[in-house]
Amino acid sequence: MTQLADPVQDAAIGPAPVSHLPRPSRKTLQGLCWASLSVLIFAGWFVVTRFSVTRELRLWDVTALRFGIGALILFPVLLRGARRMSAKQWSEGLLYACLWGMPFVLAVALGLQLTSAGRAAAVTPTLMPVFVGLFAWVFLKEKPGRSRWVGYLAIVIGLICMIAGGASAHGVVNPVGILALITAAAMWAVYTLLFRRSALTPVQAAALICFWSAVLFLPVYLFAGLSRLALASPGEIGLQAFYQGVLMSGVAIVSFNRSVALLGPSAATAIIALIPAVAALTAIPVLGELPSWEEGIALLAVVGGVLLAARPKRKAAVPSTTTVARNPP
């Protein structure tokens, strides 16, 4: 027999407490940790690269160290998985290398050469989540939502103010350099959206990016006589080899891919837009580059836009139903 609900007892018990601020899941926390690690490494890359290219090394040397050492370290991953990876996955890795490998690094390098480390760190990472949201909306029919649109707008406005505010300290902006940085941001965004649907693991993707980039770049680097490694000190070469080859080509790519897999491309790339703030703070003690107060205010606007763009979408509320029976019949 069905036992009807007792309204008096239900009133005494009271309604179940509703949590308006759900705790982040373990998956979300892990994704935030991976994204934070990526931010620290990427932000340091602009500072470390600027540190060397203003001395003896050139961006060609940095690119060679990044993908040459990265390919050596990660090549065992390809050897172990060679039988399990299809020709389609190898070609997919080539596509990733063209989007976020050697061409991406050279585009950022051109922007660094024609602008400055601060502007390069501001433009490319900041515009990348904007391009992700725009491309996902146009090609994948994924509407970002009002808060993310506001966040993207704040990022763009903050970036414009940052460039304008730094003109007095760094000079008039070079349009070719800015265009190269914007192109790099768009390439990074396309890679991020494609990797979400990839069957490759983060480590496999990192290994393929380094492998194909080394195959495409190292022959030109060696036979064209672009190397200046003989002019640099062993300590500087060791620093660049570790940061470019180990951290950037290995740890950073894997950590970023993990954050995309755990958080989704929109949230992960929005967090990556914090790179300009971290890079600006790091450049103060390392390079002695102190941002102007206009750039500082613009950075705050960018951070605000990042927080809005990184907010997860609200799930539709499930309508509650009144309990008729306590026990099944």
- pLDDT of 300: 74
Give the pLDDT of residue 311: 61
d(CA 102, CA 92): 15
d(CA 217, CA 259): 28
Each residue's pLDDT tens digit, 293-321 = 676 777 777 777 766 666 655 554 444 44
pLDDT at 170: 61
What pLDDT is stored for residue 282 in this prediction?
83
Residue with structure tokens 């600027």?
50
Neighbouring-strand partners of residue 325: 4
pLDDT < 50 regions, the chain: 1-2, 5, 7-19, 21, 316-329
Alpha helices in 84-174 (DSSP H): 87-100, 102-114, 117-139, 146-165, 167-170
- What are residue 198's phi and psi, to 5 degrees? -85, 150
Q: Give the pLDDT score at 90.
A: 92
pLDDT of residue 9: 47
Count CB-CB contacts under 10 A for residue 170: 18
CA pseudo-torsion sign 311, 317, 323, 328:
negative
Quote the crossing angle between the two packed helices 146-165 and 293-309, to the nearest 10°: 160
| Cβ count within 10 A of residue 60 | 18
Measured distance CA(279)–CA(108) in Å, rounded? 15
Joined together, the tokens standing for residue 292 give 């102007």
- pLDDT at position 309 is 65
Neighbours of 327 (CB within 10 A): 7
